[in-house]
Structure 1
């Protein structure tokens, strides 16, 4: 991926007036841009929370805007997204977005879909690992599937529309098996349930479990990715397809603005996002969270969402 450094244009920040949550555009005056809010539609501690806070920090540096982060969890992300829907036209609020933006409208009675908002930036792709406790009898993903054919296998999921729910559904469809689910509100709660012995298996992002894998508390049985990771810490983990399970699905990480904002405000945030993508902070976020960099902005992000939405429709409907 080649990124060209683009300076932020002078677009009349006094007119843009990036202000706090619930406010509308006004005049910023000589103080320059004011503040903004980054909504995280999940609880603190999980991958979405980490993503939102990293994006907020990177945009602060790129755009010179003070951005606070606010968690509005509940309903597998529906509470946060529904609140954000009510911020139509507010140019001083953003939301840390992920695959729930697409999955929620396909599975729940919500009043929005991805076309309700203004996509700004897709940072990259975040696959998952199937993990078990170190004392688990499972030694491979293939063994987990074989067991599920005749016995109860309890899987943790962080909500009905989460990446792990999608991955387990794809495995069920590919292998003609069924997993029992225990739902949680975030990846951190899933991790606690797995470590506490409440569930047998979990599908978690590498960044959420690397510490426990390195400490020996958890083992990764396979990666639901197209290819093995190049990161040294994950390079020995086989893909699911290597074990006869034809499943690879990534959750995107990115951020969106409300619908109904001005073209000037949209371009401001896109330019800030492109500036952020050239920074050490972006590289640090991608690498520390063991993600695949695959940035897209504005219309290209919209095109990605259109294609991903069509893929999810085939799975969730």
Structure 2
């Protein structure tokens, strides 16, 4: 690992500290984004339903699009059975694209996912773009005039969402579209509401509070059907773009914990998925049911990483 990057990891670890007794969930981004949501909701419910004996400590560790937290787990906490880390489609996308400086998906164990977060395309409330077609038309006319902010690195899952839409709209050179990658959806919303970008590409859970506050307008949700509780938001498909992009929400754990310890976390996550509290959390935050835990999830992840790597090569994100 790069010496400077390792020093940065060590510095963050010394600053944040660790918990020797209570379970800890690392959110690899700043407060307010999707990974933060995953840690705080799952952590709270784990305690509320009695799956853990004390509240789960949440540690925000933003940096390198999740790479800082990943390296911390691999190098410093590889056998910590009390540690879970928020993960999503962005995690596997970055690993598939070698965005974490040589880190690979098999350096941790993916324990499960219990919800799918619909992708969204969002503009500020005062934006001149009233529909997805308005935004697409502007990008087709002048690709450089429309910039997107997202919570993933360049070439990551958030970046790929608008590129898929514009490719479906007939834009031949999708590399002309500007994209600004920041640490988490909250930062991406700030960029867009502040007028630094024309649109935000992210997930439904990241924007619910901004919708309620009247700060944003959602032009499209990237699901097959409209999301329950948000029926007024049209899908991209309805507007002529056959693009579906959902972001699973789940956890990974250190690689060197035992199979028994891995199964404990799988069982705990399954209990959260089955709880009334999680069903309500999904309804409140626009998540769709998506439950895969344990060994089956790890096998599925292996396939996702392989297919993402293949797609990324096709569009030139990696060589």
TM-score > 0.5, shorter chain as reference: yes
2:158 to 159, 164, 187: 164
What's the C-alpha RMSD, in Å, of the aligned pairs?
2.1
- What is aligned with 1:238? 234
Could you report, residue by residue, the CA deviation over 1:68-124 in whole angstroms, capped at 9, with x for unpaired residues?
111111011111111111222221211111123212223325333222212222111
- What is aligned with 1:207? 205
SS in structure 2 opposite 1:55? helix
- Structure 1 regions of 5+ residues with no counterpart? 1-19, 24-33
CA distance in 1, matches of 2:190, 2:122: 13
- The Cα shift of 1:132 comes to 1.3
Q: Is residue 95 from structure 1 mapped to residue 90 from structure 2 by the alignment?
A: no
- The Cα shift of 1:276 comes to 2.0
- What is aligned with 1:173? 167
Could you report, residue by residue, the CA deviation over 1:153-210 in whole angstroms, capped at 9, with x for unpaired residues?
1111223154321212322433324421122211111111111111111123223323
In structure 2, relative to structure 1, the CA distance for the partners of 1:55 and 1:211 (3 Å cut) is closer
Q: Is residue 282 from structure 1 mapped to residue 272 from structure 2 by the alignment?
A: no
- What is aligned with 2:126? 135
- What is aligned with 1:262? 258
CA distance in 2, matches of 1:109, 1:213: 32
- Structure 2 regions of 5+ residues with no counterpart? 1-16, 314-319
- What is aligned with 1:227? 225
SS in structure 2 opposite 1:255? strand
Q: Is residue 306 from structure 1 mapped to residue 302 from structure 2 by the alignment?
A: yes
CA distance in 2, matches of 1:207, 1:258: 26
CA distance in 2, matches of 1:183, 1:297: 30
- The Cα shift of 1:21 comes to 3.8
Report the more deviating stretch, 275-284 or 290-299. 275-284
- The Cα shift of 1:274 comes to 2.0
CA distance in 1, matches of 2:179, 2:309: 21
SS in structure 2 opposite 1:251? strand
In structure 2, relative to structure 1, the CA distance for the partners of 1:275 and 1:216 (3 Å cut) is closer
Contact 2:228 2:283 in 1 (8 A): no
Alignment map for 1:51-130 (pairs within 5 Å): 51-60=38-47, 61-86=50-75, 87-107=77-97, 108-130=99-121
Report the more deviating stretch, 268-277 or 71-80. 268-277
- What is aligned with 2:14? none
In structure 2, relative to structure 1, the CA distance for the partners of 1:277 and 1:105 (3 Å cut) is closer
SS in structure 2 opposite 1:182? strand
CA distance in 2, matches of 1:247, 1:114: 26
Contact 1:172 1:179 in 2 (8 A): no
Scaled by the length of structure 1, what TM-score is found?
Answer: 0.83
In structure 2, relative to structure 1, the CA distance for the partners of 1:105 and 1:215 (3 Å cut) is closer
- What is aligned with 1:196? 194
- The Cα shift of 1:64 comes to 2.3
